[in-house]
Structure 1
Amino acid sequence: MVIEAITGPETEQLDLVTVLSALADPVRLAYVQAIANARSWVPCGEVLKGSDITVGRSTLSHHLRVLREAGLTTTRVEGTRRFVSLRRDDLDARFPGLLDAVSAAPTPAKR
């Protein structure tokens, strides 16, 4: 089985405005919070299971691309499955405390 990684910008190229813009969308914020709680690779389509948020496959694909291009996540492709993980070490190095604040924030469904 071929494993491929799809990543975003290098750590030193992470831009705070771009990251915050990606997190401004309630679906993407909930997605990042769910991944942060998982703390490991999660199948892309299963991240929001159990939440009040539902999105179509094409919409989810768009949100994943925005998160990846902002540098928040990395995607691993194994055959036909995709797994996503936060770039926690890179984000903590570039913006200390940001992910902790995002994880502690109320989820959009709870507002």
Structure 2
Amino acid sequence: MRSLEHPEPEEMTLDAVLSALADPVRLTIVRQLADGHDDQACIAFELPVSKSTSTHHFRVLREAGVISQHYRGTAILNGLRSDALNQRFPGLLDAILAAR
């Protein structure tokens, strides 16, 4: 089965997380995950960018440790790593989501 790499909480850096969340498209993805449920397919997101650009945004979020991604068949499902983020940077995710 194919798998995608995710950083462990202790490997996550504040610079990478904040950089990932600084982009409005990526912040939209995070907010939708926070408001919805885990295991949202990439096609469930209405983003103002092309498919290849949205793939890039999901990868940046995953590599920073903000989201998790896993395959289910041919679909990639996404989830917010709120527990890992809160473990590494307590209160950061809540503050970012509250700053709407």
What is the CA-CA distance between 1:5 and the residue it aligns to? 4.2
Could you say which structure has the larger radius of gyration?
A: 1
CA distance in 2 between counterparts of 1:91 and 1:5 reads 21
Could you tell me which residue of structure 1 aligns to residue 81 of structure 2? 87
CA distance in 2 between counterparts of 1:40 and 1:9 reads 18
Indicate conservation of the 8 Å contact 1:39/1:85, yes or no. yes
For residues 39 and 98 of structure 1, do their structure 2 counterparts lie closer, same or farther at Cα, with a shift above 3 Å needed?
A: farther
| Match runs of 1:30-109 below 5 Å | 30-47=28-45, 49=46, 53-106=47-100
CA distance in 1 between counterparts of 2:14 and 2:54 reads 23
Q: Once the two structures are superposed, what CA deviation does each residue of 1:6-40 show, in whole Å capped at 9, x if it has no partner?
A: 24211111100110001111100111111111132
Could you tell me which residue of structure 2 aligns to residue 9 of structure 1? 7
Q: Once the two structures are superposed, what CA deviation does each residue of 1:42-84 show, in whole Å capped at 9, x if it has no partner?
A: 111213x3xxx41110000000010000010111111111110
RMSD: 1.4
User: Gaps (5+ residues) in structure 1?
Assistant: 107-111
Structure number with higher relative contact order (C-alpha < 8 Å, ≥ 6 residues apart): 1
- Structure 1 residue ranges, 4+ long, deviating more than 3 angstroms after superposition: none
Number of matched residues? Answer: 100
TM-score, L = length of structure 2: 0.90
CA distance in 2 between counterparts of 1:36 and 1:100 reads 10
**What secondary structure is seen at the aligned counterpart in 1 of 2:70?**
strand
CA distance in 2 between counterparts of 1:73 and 1:7 reads 11
**What secondary structure is seen at the aligned counterpart in 2 of 1:21?**
helix
